[in-house]
Structure 1
Amino acid sequence: TLLKKLNEITHLEIIKLIKKEINLAKNKTHNQEKVLIIDAALIYEAKIDRLMDKIIAVYIDEDEQIKRLIKRNNLSKEGALQRIKSQMPMKEKVKMADYVIDNSSSLDETKEQVEKIWKKLVSRIS
Structure 2
Amino acid sequence: MTKIIGLTGGIGSGKTTVAKMIEQLGYAVYNSDTRAKNLVNESSALKQEIIQLLGEKAYDKNGLYDRRYVAEQVFSNKTLLQQLNAIIHPAVNQDFHQWVERENFDLVFKETALLFELKLNLQCYKSILVTADESIRIKRVMDRDHKTYREVEKIISNQMPERRKIKLADYIIENNTHLEHLQSQTEKTIRVIEKELSY
Using the size of structure 1 for normalisation, the TM-score is: 0.84
User: In the alignment, residue 90 of structure 2 is paired with which amino acid?
Assistant: L
User: In the alignment, residue 136 of structure 2 is paired with which amino acid?
Assistant: E
Pairs within 5 Å for 1:9-88: 9-25=87-103, 28-29=104-105, 34-88=106-160
Pick aligned residue for 1:95 from 149, 167, 191: 167
Q: Which has the higher contact order (CA 8 A, sep 6+)?
A: 2
Which structure has greater strand proportion?
2
User: In the alignment, residue 189 of structure 2 is paired with which amino acid?
Assistant: I
Q: Is the 8 A contact 1:57 1:97 kept in 2?
A: yes
CA distance in structure 1 between the aligned counterparts of 2:165 and 2:88, rounded to whole angstroms: 21
CA distance in structure 2 between the aligned counterparts of 1:120 and 1:9, rounded to whole angstroms: 36
Residues 83 and 43 of structure 1, relative CA distance in 2, 3 Å threshold? same
Pick aligned residue for 1:105 from 158, 174, 177: 177
CA distance in structure 1 between the aligned counterparts of 2:151 and 2:98, rounded to whole angstroms: 32
Q: Is the 8 A contact 1:69 1:80 kept in 2?
A: yes
User: In the alignment, residue 41 of structure 1 is paired with which amino acid?
Assistant: A
Structure 1 or 2, whichever has the larger Rg, is 2
Offset of residue 14 of structure 1: 2.0
Aligned to 1:6: 84
CA distance in structure 2 between the aligned counterparts of 1:15 and 1:80, rounded to whole angstroms: 27
Offset of residue 70 of structure 1: 1.3
Percent identity, aligned pairs only, is 28
Using the size of structure 2 for normalisation, the TM-score is: 0.56
CA distance in structure 2 between the aligned counterparts of 1:6 and 1:77, rounded to whole angstroms: 25
Unaligned runs of 5+ in 2: 1-72, 76-80
User: In the alignment, residue 7 of structure 1 is paired with which amino acid?
Assistant: N
